[in-house]
Amino acid sequence: MTAQETNLLNAFETTLTGTIGASDLTFTVNSVVDSASNTLAAPCYLILNPDSATNREVVQVTSINAGTKTLTLDNINKRYLTGSAATSGLSHASGSVVRMSPVQQHIEDINDRVDTIINEAGTAVNTSLFLDEDDMTSNSATKGVTQQSVKAYVDTQLTAEDLDISADSGSNIAIDLDSEVLDLEGGTGIDTTTGTNKVTFAIDSTVATLTGSQTLTNKGINLANNTLTSTLAQLNTAVSDATLVDLDDSQTLTNKAIDSDNNTITNIVNANIKSTAEIDASKIADGSVSSTEFQYLDGVTSSIQTQINTALATSDVAAASIGTTDNSNGYIRFTNDFVIQWLRKSTTGNHTITYPLAMDNFYGVYVAPEHTGSGHIRVHSISATQITLGNAEANIQGWALITGRKT
């Protein structure tokens, strides 16, 4: 027999549509499909005239044309197989039964297939299916390998191979995979633990994490490269020697200095200024009144102008007009009608000046020049209402004092 797989259909049976001669290799049948609609497939064994002890023949079909229902045997050796009524000379008429049944050849084919793998005694495999190469040089895709060759190859590879390792610092190392063990050690704050086919690295309690709650000691945080966020209450809890304030709340500051050159102070009212502030008077209004002059107001109990008017009303001065500029004049009139008038004049030649207050009577005059050189002021004429002054030299300034009476 042959180490091959042959096809079987349960309860397949048909009949010949024509006669088969003693040496024919092709014949046709009525059907190639069984009752379960399974199609006959080659190679397969069929029995012609299976119920005839004298004409039974076992054949091996090597190809089937399902369309024409033609069955073909590739050579005469596929006829007259073991179990046939004769080894030659058999013919079969049209209508003869063709049946598929288990035959001796099925078992022999299976045994032949097994024999290609293992001997009949079952003690050894077919060595032609395996390669015994310690170095695996043939690289076959169809052959198996022996246990000895696998072990020899693996041992050679493991012995020859190292695990090369480099790190951020230190020299590179090579672990001999055949004889050495790689030790994975944790550093500061890191522990290692072995498990099932794994090594776990974990930080210990000395390492701070982003989500954990830890107390940091002797650490510096560079605020130029980091942002700290907190609430005022949290900061006040953290600060033990002071109390922090914010820009929005109202707090009373103590022992603080505010540089007004670099800060703007607003919303200051009188109640915010202490009585002992001693603000310099030059900082009031246009600054023309000094602190010394401002202190002259000490003791004033009412309007200064009102007090002056009251004082004038209760004194001997009935009226007064005081002028201090060039070419100005003034007078004082007493309650007894006595009048003192004065005037200042800068003149060249004669000049008549009318008194600021016309008098009823003229009593006397006094003139005085304002210069250091030669020359003087002369009175050319005088009356109760005016005076004429003059000189013959250059422009000379001078004063005139006139007395009289005004009723």
CATH class as words, domain 317-405? mainly beta
**Tens-level pLDDT at each residue, the chain (407 residues):** 566 788 899 889 999 999 999 999 999 999 999 999 999 999 999 999 999 999 999 999 999 999 999 999 999 999 999 999 999 999 999 999 999 998 888 787 777 777 666 666 666 666 666 777 777 777 887 777 777 788 777 777 666 567 788 888 888 888 876 677 888 887 888 888 988 888 898 888 778 777 777 777 878 888 888 887 878 777 777 776 777 777 677 777 777 888 878 888 888 887 778 878 778 888 888 888 888 888 877 778 888 878 777 765 555 555 566 655 556 778 888 888 888 888 877 656 677 888 888 889 888 887 776 654 455 667 778 888 888 877 655 555 667 788 888 87
Give the count of beta carbons closer than 10 Å to the beta carbon of residue 386: 13
Structural contact between residues 149 and 131, judged by C-beta atoms closer than 8 angstroms? yes
- What is the DSSP secondary structure assignment for residue 327, as one 8-state letter? T
- Taking the C-alpha atoms of residue 242 and residue 384, their distance in angstroms, rounded to an integer, is 85
Torsion over CA: 376, 381, 384, 386 (sign): negative
Contacts of residue 275, Cβ cutoff 8 Å, sequence gap at least 6: none
**Domain definitions of the chain by residue range:** 13-113, 125-162+175-180, 317-405
**Residues 145, 131 contacting (CB under 8 angstroms):** yes
What is the pLDDT, as a whole number, of residue 325? 56
Residue with tokens 């009577």: 361
Question: For residue 403, what pLDDT is reported?
Answer: 87
Are the beta carbons of 200 and 192 closer than 8 angstroms?
yes
The Cα 255–Cα 238 span in angstroms is 22
The helix (H) or strand (E) run that includes residue 291 is: helix 291-295
Predicted pLDDT of residue 55:
97
Please give the backbone phi and psi of residue 342, each rounded to the nearest 5 degrees, phi first: -140, 160
> DSSP character for 295?
H
Q: Residue 292, Cβ neighbours under 10 Å: how many? A: 8
pLDDT for 196: 87
- Whole-prediction pTM value? 0.35
pLDDT score of 70: 97
